Amino acid sequence: MVIERIRRFAAGAAPDHAARPRTAIPNWLLLPGLVALAVSLAVYVAYLRHHPYSGTDFSMYLGAAHAFADGKAVYQFGYTALNLPYTYPPITLPVLVPLTWLEPRTALYLVNALGFVAILAAVWLTGGMLGHRGWRGRLGVVAGIGAVLLWTEPLQRNLNLGQINIFVMLLVVADLSLSDRSRFKGIGIGAATAAKLLPGLFVVYLLLTRRIRAAFTAAGAFVGLTLLGWLIQPGGSHDYWLAGRAFDSHRVLMAFGPRYGGNQSLQGLTSRLLNTDEHNTVWWMLSVVVVAVAGLALAVYAQRRGQEAMAMVVVGFLTLLISPVSWSHYWLWIGPLGAVLVDAVLRSRGRARAVAALVAVAATLPFLMWPLRNGSGDFVPRGLIWLAGRFDGLARHLAVDPYVPTVLILFAIAALWLRRRQDDPPLPAPAVPTAVPVTADR
């Protein structure tokens, strides 16, 4: 009876992005894209010679990995001179242990190099979801986007701190890039959720778009990996899951408070507008409900219009908006966003193309690094959110809170754009499976 109801629900499944019309990307984009990336990398490497990575968060990862390898209570210690807590689930610790076998700076540069490749891979996969074909043109687009990404505040800060969020995002993008007919769809989202929790919102998205098998697969992967974490580190799992550490935003914010400019979430925005350091205010909770409901509705609508990549980016940004703490270096969904914006430009014609290009440029500006003189008189790139002290009044608010308003405006533009395209025929829905497995094939 229950299985039959699930099958009926799945019968209204949303269209499979694999059926999306293909778009040939001009081959001539390859050369300018590669040149732009080469120049961007050269300037960035020159910058690193004078301003090497701090690796603050990476040192915390290594400290936690050493503690785990030594059999210590990982979650009861702080790491680095800043006494940073380890905030990821126990299942992530065995993955970090091999990094302790390398010299720390070597490990940091290796992870950052892989991280940059990972965000380029996420952009490439997003292009595939958008129906792009022709590897030369696609590679040129990815290289061009990568050249710009390298000079955005989220990516530069991510690399400077040695963060691993890029790899979590890549798991989600790689998963959603699979056809809905794939038996493996959902495993990547489940693994990402086991590593960072917030990607669990994509399971809700899968359910709302009636991809039941993938949702159950994701849930199964999450549960399986979490249980494996219990087997590997039962004491640490108890500390993390049952002692309240998993959902304690105070532990993540430490002494900063929700008003801290680096917290680019709805809670950070509302706390700064209300000028309060109080956690979990009523206004924040109301904003989370409104934005989450509206954002998920937009994502479902986009997916049903065959815009899976757009829907993915919407849900990705939603995870950042509704989280109590979203550091600026978490905002790596600007990578896939870049692919979606470029696609809108390529598919548009005439005046619409000019508008799409203007939107793409305007959406990029708040995330860029800007060259400003430091105390020594040297030009150092700084993100807009760190320049709020140079402004007063409304300009100060706009400087310290550019990310959330930019994304909310993009949501509104996306809704209008989808509405104007209502006459487009929807894509076909995938075939309904004859059985609905509740766990992933392992």
- Note the pLDDT tens digit of each residue in 37-76: 999 999 999 999 988 999 999 999 999 999 999 999 999 8
How many other C-beta atoms are found inside a 10 Å radius of the C-beta of residue 223? Answer: 14
**What is the β-pairing status of strands 132-133 and 369-373?**
unpaired
The C-alpha angle 342, 345, 346, rounded to 5 degrees, equals 90
- Cβ-proximal residues to 68 (8 Å cutoff; 6+ apart), any chain: 74, 93, 94, 96, 97, 233, 236
Whether 425 shows a pLDDT value over 50: the answer reads no
From residue 357, alpha-carbon distances to 111, 332, 360, 417 in Å are 33, 21, 5, 14
Residue 145 has what pLDDT? 98
Indicate the pLDDT class of residue 276, thresholds 50, 70 and 90: confident
| Angle, helices 334-347/351-364, rounded to nearest 10 degrees | 170
Whether 308 shows a pLDDT value over 80: the answer reads yes
Q: What is the 3-state secondary structure (H, E, C) of 7-34?
A: HHHHCCCCCCHHHCCCEECCHHHHHHHH
Per-residue model confidence as pLDDT tens digits over 198-254: 999 999 999 999 999 999 999 999 999 999 999 999 998 999 998 877 777 666 666
3-state DSSP assignment of residue 373 = strand
DSSP code for 163: -
Q: Which residues of 170-202 are buried (b: 16+ CB within 10 A; e: fewer)?
A: bbbbbbbbbebebeebbbbbbbbbbbbbbbbbb
Per-residue model confidence as pLDDT tens digits over 367-410: 999 887 776 667 788 888 888 767 766 667 777 789 999 999 99
Beta bridge partners of 372: 380
Whether 429 shows a pLDDT value over 70: the answer reads no
Indicate the pLDDT class of residue 279, thresholds 50, 70 and 90: confident
Whether 436 shows a pLDDT value over 50: the answer reads no
Whether 255 shows a pLDDT value over 90: the answer reads no
Long-range contacts of 286-291 (CB under 8 A, 24+ apart): 288/321, 288/322, 291/266, 291/318, 291/321, 291/322, 291/408
- Beta-strand ranges (E) seen in 323-437 are 369-373, 379-383
Whether 428 shows a pLDDT value over 70: the answer reads no
Instruction: Write out the DSSP string of 238-258.
Output: IIIIISSGGG-HHHHHTTS-T
Contact 338, 123 (CB under 8 A): yes
Whether 135 shows a pLDDT value over 90: the answer reads yes
Rounded to two decimals, what is the model's pTM? 0.89
Q: What stretch of H or E contains 79?
A: strand 78-79
Residue 147 has what pLDDT? 98
Q: C-alpha 391: how far from its chain's center?
A: 29
Cα 423 from Cα 436, distance rounded (Å): 33
Instruction: Write out the DSSP string of 90-153.
Output: GGGHHHHGGGGGS-HHHHHHHHHHHHHHHHHHHHHHHHHHTTEE-HHHHHHHHHHHHHHHTTBH
Indicate the pLDDT class of residue 18, thresholds 50, 70 and 90: low
pLDDT averaged over the chain? 88
Q: Report percent pLDDT > 70 for the chain.
A: 87
3-state DSSP assignment of residue 333 = coil
Phi first, then psi: what are they for 354, rounded to 5°? -65, -40
